[in-house]
Amino acid sequence: MKVDFYGHVRQYNNIKTEIDANLHEVIQSGQFVLGPMLKRFEGEFAAYSGAKHAIGVGNGTDAIWLALMALGVGPGDECITNANTFFATAEAIWIAGATAVLVDCDPRTKCIAPARIEAAITPKTKAIIPVHLYGQCADMKAIRKIADQHKLLVIEDNAQGIGAHGDGFKIAQLSDATATSFIIQKNLGTFGDGGAIVTNNSDLDARVRKLRNHGSNARNVHSFGFNSRLDDIHAAILSAKLKHIDAWNDLRRALAARYTAGLKGAKHLTLPFETPGGRHIFHLYVVETKDPAKRDGFLKYLNDAGIDAKTHYSIAIHQQAGYPWGKAARIAGSLDNAEFNAATCISLPIFPELTNNEADYVIEKVLQWDQAQ
Ligand SMILES: *Cc1c(COP(=O)(O)O)cnc(C)c1O
């Protein structure tokens, strides 16, 4: 059997008529950039997020740095985030001209550890960027409290958690801005790149709308700006998909529960931890080998068995050779948990269209590996 990591084509075929109708509408309207379909999707996404505004931008990385720039974060400022995230979180801080301060994660959730944030704060600290890693919310209540005590901004990196919520809080409720990505492999993905900023701050909304469009909100009148807009073609696809996101997340959760029940006897693996009271939407189902020396062999075993398992992320930000150390990034405290995660993580295939048969095959192969150790 072969088990893919993504179900893009299956998903398209399941809702083809809805996506095709929206695409047809855009093409027939003759309006492809900042047109009515983008406006419609921005309204739908803001409503879905329970926030006043959503602004469609070119990709998730741009969403982070545009939010930082529009909030006045730049050269000389420090932004605290976790070392175990996708490279783009730190990259966006660097693009904004600020310094990324990398701290360790909670060993169970893999999200940023609030105590580590407190220890990393300096007079230069301007913002905290928690990541809802793998589709599970960071501890936003604790983070908001620290931010209030130290007068810091909070920008959520929600590239992986659309539809998740925390224990008693919603995403975008306790922050200044929330950035998300709609690249195809995310759980709300378009056929290409896309992103959005969600906020309740109307000044920020106006500033980002200008920044993403060459510094312009009136024809021929410009100030400092960029070109980073979500195309109407992508908005059409996303508008059709948004109607299904809660049901798709339920399917992800059911598959995660199937994996966890099937794999609970595995002696050589640690299974994902779910914070009680929260809704983890399992953008990724990440297990860890208890022994770092066994991870690469385990990955090869799965790949050889036809299972397209991957790692998220096997090189933490501070372990990347290409990062501009000294200028754009610094480490605060030990990063033991982030480093252990990088050395041991394996993402098993999970997507709404994955069948129970396929999931059971993955379980069978993982258990076979486990028993052979
Ligand atoms: C995907 C991702 C991004 C960047 O999104 P792009 O749309 O690829 O630019 C940022 N942060 C995290 C955590 C991501 O997973």
Cα–ligand 1 centroid distance for 194 (angstroms) = 10
216 within some domain: no
- The predicted pLDDT at position 3 comes to 98
CA of 178 relative to ligand 1 center, distance in Å: 12
Task: Write down the pTM of the prediction.
Answer: 0.98
Domain membership flag for residue 318? yes
335, part of any domain? yes
Residue pLDDT, tens place only, 109-166: 999 999 999 999 999 999 999 999 999 999 999 999 999 999 999 999 999 999 999 9
Query: Domain holding 305: CATH number?
Result: 3.90.1150.10
The mean pLDDT of 240-246, rounded to a whole number, is 98
For residue 141, being part of any structural domain is answered with no
pLDDT tens-digit map of 155-206:
999 999 999 999 999 999 999 999 999 999 999 999 999 999 999 999 999 9
Q: Which residues line ligand 1 (CB under 6 A)?
A: 59-61, 85-86, 88-89, 131, 157, 159-160, 181, 183, 193, 195
Ligand 1 geometric centre to CA of 89 (Å) = 7
What SS3 class is residue 348? strand
Asked whether residue 368 is domain-assigned, the answer is yes
b (16+ CB within 10 A) / e for 47-80: ebbebebbbbbbbbbbbbbbbbbbbebeeebbbb
**Alpha carbon nearest to ligand 1 atom 8, residue:** 60
Whether 176 maps to a domain, the answer reads no
Task: Tokens 């400092």: give the residue.
Answer: 224
CB 80 within 8 A of CB 117: yes
Q: Which residues contact 252 (CB under 8 A, 6 or more apart)?
A: 135, 187, 281, 282, 283, 350, 351, 352
Q: How far apart are CA 171 and CA 223, in angstroms?
A: 32
The protein residue whose alpha carbon is closest to atom 11 in ligand 1 is 89
* Contact status, residue 98 vs residue 67, Cβ threshold 8 Å: no
Task: Report yes or no on 223 lying in a domain.
Answer: no
List pLDDT tens digits, range 287-331: 999 999 999 999 999 999 999 999 999 999 999 987 766 668 888
If you average pLDDT over every residue of the chain, what do you get?
A: 97
Structural domain tally of the chain? 1
The predicted pLDDT at position 21 comes to: 98
Q: What is the dihedral of CA 244, 245, 251, 254, to 10 degrees?
A: -140
Residue 321 is predicted with a pLDDT of 85
pLDDT reported for residue 206? 98
In ligand 1, the atom with minimum distance to the C-alpha of 185 is 1
Element (DSSP H or E) covering residue 107:
none
The 285-289 sheet, strands edge to edge? 269-270, 285-289, 345-348
* Residue 261 pLDDT > 70: yes
Exposed, middle or buried: residue 256 (CB in 10 Å: 0-12, 13-18, 19+)? buried
Domain span including residue 314? 245-372
105 falls within a domain: no
